[in-house]
């Protein structure tokens, strides 16, 4: 388990958002009117007064036609207070990021002797160790018929079509760990074997990539509709982790789509 990359990434994104908002507030305050707003309640309504300097107790009464000035002064007061809060948060996040070592939990295990590592089950793993363990999970692979055409990715993985070569090599090019035809079970029974089981290393989440390569073949299309329905109806399967690509004879696999799927889900 590793939450540290996500934690630091989220805090860095929050810091950028705060700094952007601070810029907006600073520019808006530079254009704000001088002085402050004084509000006095009279019976069932409010009266607005413009204090132009700190020495004024009550200020100058603002008539109905001057409500835009009242609004600008109220906005100014809000912006000043918000600026103070966000500046404090900015400093706190910067302090935390400066003092926080996201690698410390991982390095604790990495610095153990091999003898101790053999006895310890670590709570935090480096990306390299996590990938190694993920790829080492045993599973029963489907075979190929003796007369089946042979297609291999650059990484030496045998697949079933030229389109799967394109997908596999794109994954390898982006250093995305994957397992070919890794099985998905429902209630202990094999439900499907998606073409590629991919690992988003940054999130440490599994994604399943199905390529539907002959959608103009009626039998093939029917079988894959049934398969997709199984994914949806499986209560243990997270459908948001299912990646789909498609093609027909007239519309072959689009390599730009493959790259976009990788960018969107796996990087």
Give Cα separations from 204 to 57, 151, 154, 155, 265 (angstroms). 61, 29, 25, 22, 12
Do 73 and 158 have their domain in common?
no
Do 152 and 260 have their domain in common?
yes
Would you say residue 173 has pLDDT above 70?
yes
Predicted pLDDT of residue 188: 83
Evaluate whether residue 130 is within a structural domain.
no
Structure tokens at 141: 């692979």
Residue-wise pLDDT tens digits, 125-168: 888 989 999 999 999 989 999 999 999 999 999 999 999 999 99
Predicted pLDDT of residue 106: 87
Predicted pLDDT of residue 4: 62
Predicted pLDDT of residue 177: 98
Residue-wise pLDDT tens digits, 61-118: 999 999 999 999 999 999 999 999 999 999 999 999 999 888 888 889 989 999 999 9
Percent of the chain as helix, strand, coil, to the nearest 5: 45, 20, 35
Evaluate whether residue 131 is within a structural domain.
no
Predicted pLDDT of residue 5: 67
- Report the CATH number at residue 243: 3.40.1350
The 10 Å Cβ neighbour count of residue 167 is 25
Do 83 and 188 have their domain in common?
no
Do 79 and 192 have their domain in common?
no
Evaluate whether residue 217 is within a structural domain.
yes
Predicted pLDDT of residue 1: 45
Do 154 and 92 have their domain in common?
no
Residue-wise pLDDT tens digits, 189-222: 888 899 999 999 988 999 999 999 999 999 999 9
Could you list the residue range(s) of the whole structural domain that residue 66 is in? 4-101
Structural domains in the chain (count) = 2
Distance CA 199, CA 56 (A): 66
Write the burial class of residue 89 (CB in 10 Å: 0-12 exposed, 13-18 middle, 19+ buried): middle
Characterize the bridge pairing of strands 158-159 and 178-180.
unpaired
E strand or H helix that includes residue 105: helix 104-110
């Amino acid at each position: 388990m590793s939450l540290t990359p996500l934690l630091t990434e989220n805090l860095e994104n929050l810091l950028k958002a705060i700094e952007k908002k601070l810029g907006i507030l600073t520019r808006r305050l530079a254009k704000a009117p001088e002085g402050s707003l004084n509000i006095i309640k009279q019976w069932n309504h409010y009266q607005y007064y413009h204090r132009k300097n700190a020495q004024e107790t009550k200020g100058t009464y603002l008539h109905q036609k001057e409500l835009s000035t009242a609004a600008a002064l109220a906005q100014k007061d809000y912006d000043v207070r918000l600026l103070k809060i966000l500046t404090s948060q900015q400093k706190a996040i910067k302090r935390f990021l400066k003092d926080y070592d996201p690698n410390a939990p991982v390095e604790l295990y990495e610095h153990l002797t091999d003898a101790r590592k053999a006895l310890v089950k670590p709570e935090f793993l480096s990306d390299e160790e996590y990938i190694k363990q993920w790829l080492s999970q045993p599973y029963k692979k489907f075979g190929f018929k003796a007369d089946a055409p042979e297609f291999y990715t650059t990484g030496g993985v045998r697949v079933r079509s030229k389109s799967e070569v394109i997908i596999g090599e794109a994954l390898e090019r982006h250093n995305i760990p994957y397992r070919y035809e890794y099985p998905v079970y429902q209630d202990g029974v094999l439900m499907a074997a998606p073409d590629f089981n991919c690992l988003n290393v940054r999130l440490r989440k599994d994604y399943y990539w199905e390529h539907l390569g002959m959608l103009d073949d009626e039998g093939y299309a029917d079988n894959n509709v049934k398969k997709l329905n199984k994914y949806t109806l499986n209560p243990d399967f997270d459908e948001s982790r299912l990646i789909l690509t498609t093609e027909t004879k007239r519309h072959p696999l689009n390599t730009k789509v493959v790259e976009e799927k990788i960018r969107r889900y796996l990087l």
